[in-house]
Structure 1
Amino acid sequence: MLQRILGRVLATTRGDDGMSTAEYAIGTIAAAAFAAVLYAIVKGDGIMSALTSLINRALSVNF
């Protein structure tokens, strides 16, 4: 009984392998929007000064 149900579930999901073109378009837009948000955050003054400070400290370490 369980194998029959599992077989039907697998049979209905096998026909939908991968994304369609519309799904790729939505995924690409979402990725671009996420990248734009991250860029805006990193470009802020507070983050830039923190990153610059971190790099300066890393370069001035005495071995």
Structure 2
Amino acid sequence: MNKLPNFREDDGMATVEYAIATLAAAALAAVLYLVVNSEAVVAGLTALVERALSVKF
């Protein structure tokens, strides 16, 4: 007798979940990149570094 494979409703779900998580991570990285490269953040970080380097011991 031929046995038919048992397919469950959630077969392949792990792959879909990994794909969704990868897309979410890429979207978060894109948003963070845009925030960090914004003029306000760059100016603030530059000022902070310059202030830290100008401290006299």
Same fold (TM over 0.5): yes
Supply the RMSD in Å over aligned alpha carbons.
1.3
- Secondary structure, aligned partner of 2:55: coil
Greater helix fraction, Structure 1 or Structure 2: 1
Q: Distance in 1 between matches of 2:50 and 2:19?
A: 41
The superposition leaves residues 15-34 of structure 1 with CA deviations (integer Å, 9 ceiling, x where unpaired) of xxxx7111011001101100
Q: Distance in 1 between matches of 2:54 and 2:25?
A: 36
Deviation, structure 1 residue 35 = 0.7
Q: TM-score, normalised by structure 1?
A: 0.65
The superposition leaves residues 1-57 of structure 1 with CA deviations (integer Å, 9 ceiling, x where unpaired) of xxxxxxxxxxxxxxxxxx711101100110110010011111111110000000111
Structure 1 segments, 4+ long, off by >4 Å, are none
Q: TM-score, normalised by structure 2?
A: 0.71
Q: Which residue of the other structure, out of 2, 15, 24, is the alignment partner of 1:21?
A: 15
Match of 1:55 in 2: 49
Q: Distance in 2 between matches of 1:21 and 1:56?
A: 47
Q: Report the AA paired with residue 45 of structure 1.
A: E
- Secondary structure, aligned partner of 1:20: helix
Gaps of 5+ in 1: 1-18
